[in-house]
Chains A and B, each alone.
Chain A
């Protein structure tokens, strides 16, 4: 039988999970900044931090899912919540993977791209932070979900637009095609984070309609 204490503990656990996703997004942004500025030491510190955050998020997610199933909690919304946790986990997973690829493939961005890449990173990270806010709103049943979802939409659109602009500039430059393809790949990876955030937001929009009595 589920006790109130255990239900409360799970509440805290889910809250921690959301914290980790939000932190992960910010660490990702700082990691990108360090990479572009050539500060290897800082970059590696952020890479290690995001690996740690992703690992912890994974453990919490699996544990929460187990408790949700074991005690048959929130039968009406369980599917939605499990999907939400998994999709949010994909977001931090993708952040970690992208930083790892920066580390492994070491893309060589011409300096004039730094500002654009940082802006793109910023838009993607903002969309992740907004979707974390929307998720909290969903769990705590506040009316703020829609505001957060609107923000996610806005930042995803901005990221889309920026990504296309940056890729256009890359292919206009006098570089080898393989180099152009390489840079384009990284631009798309960073932009992809906002797409993942948008997927979560879309699920939340439907799940919150289902949450009405």
Chain B
């Protein structure tokens, strides 16, 4: 059954390769600076390296699909996202695979009565507007700078051609690497806990663990997608929307890389804050939207007359319809998979506000009067819990009560985390604290978090502040990993 489910992950990988390779090498191929074959080989190789080498770090998080808590559900959600992206690819439109996945997860949320995090929805919408604007701005600045530089530095047409070609190749290679590293968790992450592969020795050179083999498989699927289907979208980005010159093609990928780096890198934000420098506000960015924004920026600098607005209109409508279609397809497919194929597409998540939860809310200074008569009642879904409590609680208390009341029975089993000791992802002090809880049972995740933070300061959350953001995020990811690992099924 695992391999049947894996197929949809591979399909999602294939559709990701077919669509997202255009953000990486679209302008280079569109301007004929790099042959499609060369671009496809380079992209596939670096995606594969990124997936196996860079993706391993992300194996602790499940990617966006991690929110889906049953394998058949992940299968369906990935299938819905893959189908949507494939359709968009057939229409030659560059779209965001991440947004297709988020759309499909929202479909799952609606199907299962889970609550949708409206934060991710607003992120999608703002990325349609903010990201292309930022990218267009950077492309315009870079274009002016390049024009000024080239008028001063006398470069032979062939030297310029060589440098542009190399620039396009190298930036594309880096972008392919991060495409593989960042997206492999979405493609293959959900299958990691049930991977049946043992360690694989590759010609005595290095060893790939089960997760890495899975990621290599996903990387290959992405590569196949690049080879078989990406050319049309590449030409839309690099040629159809606005006829770019080779240097403009390089400016587009550079503007995209800068926007992705400056406005989505928490590491950079952390670095700036740590050195007392003003940080750049993080905004939701997507490489598809950044590339299109940069092309439009160049087009506008050239007078705007040659931009094909009909193509731009098609692309923009593709952005809006991708999450919507993906959501609807996901909902319908979940219905079919559950009712026709009798597969369990979600684990019901129950909610119960018992005395421990009430005590915790009280300790946090939140009003608890509204819980009268509802204590110890079990609700079958987040939506049902919310409905029962909404008339009695204010929004803040309700939100917190939702977080605390989610039942997730855990048993701390050290055998399950033994392999983490060698990976050093968890610090020694944190690991010792886990050891101290060996064999303990918890009803709620927060109870385990509280117990851990009582054992060592290292498990304590730092106060909410910019400089602590990354620290707290990693802490949350580790707690989430522990909850997933120790969950009693």
A139 at interface (Cβ–Cβ under 8 A)? yes
Q: Is B469 positioned at the interface, with any CB of A under 8 Å from its CB?
A: no
CA distance A77 to B160 in the complex (A): 12
A selection of 9 A-B contacts at a CB cut-off of 8 Å is A11-B158, A14-B158, A75-B33, A139-B156, A139-B157, A139-B158, A141-B157, A143-B151, A212-B147
Supposing A7-B159, A7-B161 touch, asked if A76 and B245 sit within 8 A by C-beta, the answer is: yes
Instruction: For the complex, give the distance between the alpha carbons of A191 and B143 in Å.
Output: 44
B154 contacts the other chain (Cβ, under 8 Å)?
Answer: yes
Complex Cα spacing A74 to B156, Å: 11
Counting CB contacts under 8 A, is A25 at the interface? no
Given contacts A72-B35, A213-B146, 10 further A-B contacts (CB under 8 A): A2-B162, A14-B158, A75-B31, A76-B245, A139-B156, A139-B157, A141-B156, A141-B160, A213-B147, A213-B251
A193-213: CB near B (< 8 Å → 1, else 0) gives 000000000000000000111
- CB pair A7–B158 under 8 Å, yes or no, is yes
Are B154 and A141 neighbours in the complex by a CB distance under 8 Å? yes
Q: Which of A8, A75, A138, A141 contacts B150 (CB 8 A)?
A: A141
Residues of B within 8 A of A18 (CB): none
- Decide yes or no whether A140 CB sits under 8 A from chain B: yes
* Interface footprint category on B: 20 to 34
Contact with B along A112-127 (1 / 0, CB 8 A): 0000000000000000
Report yes or no: B248 in contact with A11, Cβ–Cβ below 8 A.
no
Residue in chain A with minimal CB distance to B32:
A75
**For chain A, which range describes its interface: under 10, 10 to 19, 20 to 34, or 35 or more residues?**
20 to 34
B159 touches A8 (CB 8 A): yes
Closest A residue to B33 by beta carbon equals A75
Complex CA gap A10/B155 in Å reads 14
Q: Mark A136-165, 1 if CB is under 8 A from B, else 0.
A: 001111110000000000000000000000
Contact of B31 (CB < 8 Å), options: A14, A76, A81: A76
Do A213 and B245 have beta carbons less than 8 Å apart?
yes
| Contact assessment for A142 and B157 in the assembled complex, using a CB-CB cutoff below 8 Å | no
Q: How far is the CA of A10 from the CA of B32 in the complex (A)?
A: 20
Nearest residue, chain A, Cβ from B248: A213
Residues of B near A140 (CB, < 8 A) are 154-157
Chain A 1-44, CB within 8 Å of chain B: the 1/0 string?
01010011011001000000000000000000000000000000
- A212 vs B246: C-alpha distance when bound (angstroms): 11
